[in-house]
Structure 1
Amino acid sequence: MAIMLRKSLLFPLVFALALAPPSHGVNTSSLAPTSNAIQYHGGPLLTTPKTINIYLIWYGASSGKDRASITDFFASLSRSNGVAPHQEPTAATWWKSLQTYTDKAGNSIPCIVRLVKQIGDIYSLGKNIKRAQIANYVKNKIETRALPLDSNGIYLVLTARDVTVERFCMGSCGFHSSVTVSTRSRVVYAHVGNPSVQCPGLCAWPFSLPAYGPPGPALVAPNGVGADGVVINIATVLAGAATNPFNTGYFQGDPLAPLEAVTACPGIFGEGAYPGYPGNLMVDKISKASYNVYGANGRKFLLPAIWDLKSLKCKVTF
Structure 2
Amino acid sequence: MGTLEQRRQKNIKRNAILLQELELEHNHVKQELQPPRRSAKKWRKLDILPPTRSSARIASASARPDYIEDTGPPSSRAKSSAGKAATGEASRVPSQAPKSNSPHPDPESIRTRWKAWDSVASAPIRDSFGTYHFASHPDFTPNKSPADIIREGCFGGSYWRPLYSQRLGITISDDWRELPADWTAGLDVDQYLVNPEYNAQINKHGVACGQSIEAWEASGWIAHEHDVRGWFQWYCRFWMGRRCADDERQILRWKRCVGETGRWRRTLLKQYVMRGIRSVFDDGEDAGEGRDVSPVVSQTCLHWAYEVRQEALDQYWVERR
TM-score past 0.5 threshold? no
Normalised by the length of structure 1, the TM-score is: 0.27
* Higher radius of gyration, 1 or 2: 2
Q: Of Structure 1 and Structure 2, which has the larger fraction of its residues in strand?
A: 1
Normalised by the length of structure 2, the TM-score is: 0.27
